C-alpha cells in the first residue's frame, strides 16, 4: 500500500531500510528508494506501484521514474533531504584565488599568467551534473555546491564570446 510519510523538510531518518519509498518532488522527478532489507516481493513490485502512483496523480506519460538503492543515492535524490549523512555527503570548501598565493611552480615558470584570465568574471556561467553519462543542468541557486560522489561540467562564456570548459570529478 502507498501512504504519505512526510513533507518538506524531509529527513533521511524517515527512510526505513526494511521498506521501499516513492519520492514525489513536485518538479517532474519521481524516485523509488529501495531499502537494503526490504523483501523480494516489495523490490519486484516497486516500479509497478510507482507507475500506478503516477497514473493516479495524472502525471504525463513521459515522467521519468528513477530507481535508487540504499547507500547508492545520487545527489539528485539526496538534495531533497535536509542534512543527508553518509556516502556523497556535501563537503563545502573555500576556494582561494590562484593569484593570491602563487605556487612554487608559478615562481619557477615566471609568475602569473595574466592572459589566462580572459575577463573579470562577469561572463555567462552554466553548470551541469553528469548523471548516467548525460548532462543535467544544475539550478543557479546550487552553483558552487559539488557533491563528492558526482562529476560536473562547468561552461563559462567570456564577455568576448569565447568558451572555457572546466570539469570537476568527484571520488
Q: Let me know if residue 159 belongs to a domain.
A: yes
Last residue of a domain, one of 58, 82, 106: 82
Q: Let me know if residue 55 belongs to a domain.
A: yes
pLDDT tens track, the chain, 171 positions: 566 666 778 888 889 999 998 888 876 678 999 999 988 888 888 888 888 888 888 888 788 888 899 988 888 888 888 888 875 444 455 555 445 555 555 555 555 555 566 677 788 999 999 888 889 999 988 888 887 778 899 999 988 888 888 888 876
Domain assignment of residue 158, given as a range: 119-169
Q: Let me know if residue 107 belongs to a domain.
A: no
Q: Let me know if residue 30 belongs to a domain.
A: yes
- CA-based end-to-end distance of the chain: 38
Q: Let me know if residue 5 belongs to a domain.
A: no
pLDDT at 89 (0 to 100) = 40
Cα angle 168, 130, 63 (rounded to 5 degrees) comes to 155
Asked if residue 127 and residue 68 are part of one domain, the reply reads no
pTM: 0.49
Return the C-alpha cell found at 127: 553548470
CATH number of the domain residue 16 falls in: 3.40.20.10
Last residue of a domain, one of 59, 82, 105: 82
Q: Let me know if residue 99 belongs to a domain.
A: no
Q: Let me know if residue 103 belongs to a domain.
A: no
Q: Let me know if residue 136 belongs to a domain.
A: yes
Q: How many domains does the chain have?
A: 2
pLDDT at 155 (0 to 100) = 93
pLDDT at 17 (0 to 100) = 92
Q: For residue 83, which of 142, 12, 14, 149 has the smallest C-alpha distance?
A: 12
CB 45 within 8 A of CB 33: no
Amino acid at each position: 500500500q502507498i501512504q504519505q510519510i512526510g513533507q518538506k523538510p524531509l529527513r533521511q531518518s524517515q527512510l526505513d531500510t526494511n521498506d521501499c519509498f516513492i519520492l514525489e518532488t513536485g518538479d517532474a522527478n519521481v524516485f523509488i528508494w529501495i531499502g537494503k532489507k526490504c523483501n523480494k516481493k516489495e523490490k519486484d513490485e516497486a516500479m509497478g506501484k510507482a507507475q500506478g502512483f503516477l497514473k493516479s496523480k495524472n502525471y504525463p506519460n513521459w515522467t521519468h521514474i528513477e530507481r535508487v538503492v540504499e547507500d547508492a543515492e545520487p545527489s539528485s535524490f539526496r538534495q531533497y533531504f535536509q542534512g543527508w549523512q553518509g556516502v556523497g555527503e556535501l563537503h563545502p570548501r573555500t576556494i582561494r584565488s590562484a593569484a593570491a598565493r602563487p605556487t612554487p611552480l608559478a615562481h619557477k615558470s615566471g609568475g602569473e599568467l595574466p592572459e589566462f584570465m580572459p575577463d573579470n568574471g562577469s561572463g555567462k556561467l552554466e553548470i551541469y551534473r553528469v548523471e548516467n553519462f548525460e548532462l543535467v543542468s544544475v539550478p543557479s541557486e546550487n552553483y558552487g555546491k559539488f557533491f563528492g560522489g558526482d562529476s560536473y561540467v562547468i561552461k563559462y562564456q567570456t564577455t568576448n564570446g569565447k568558451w572555457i570548459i572546466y570539469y570537476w570529478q568527484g571520488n
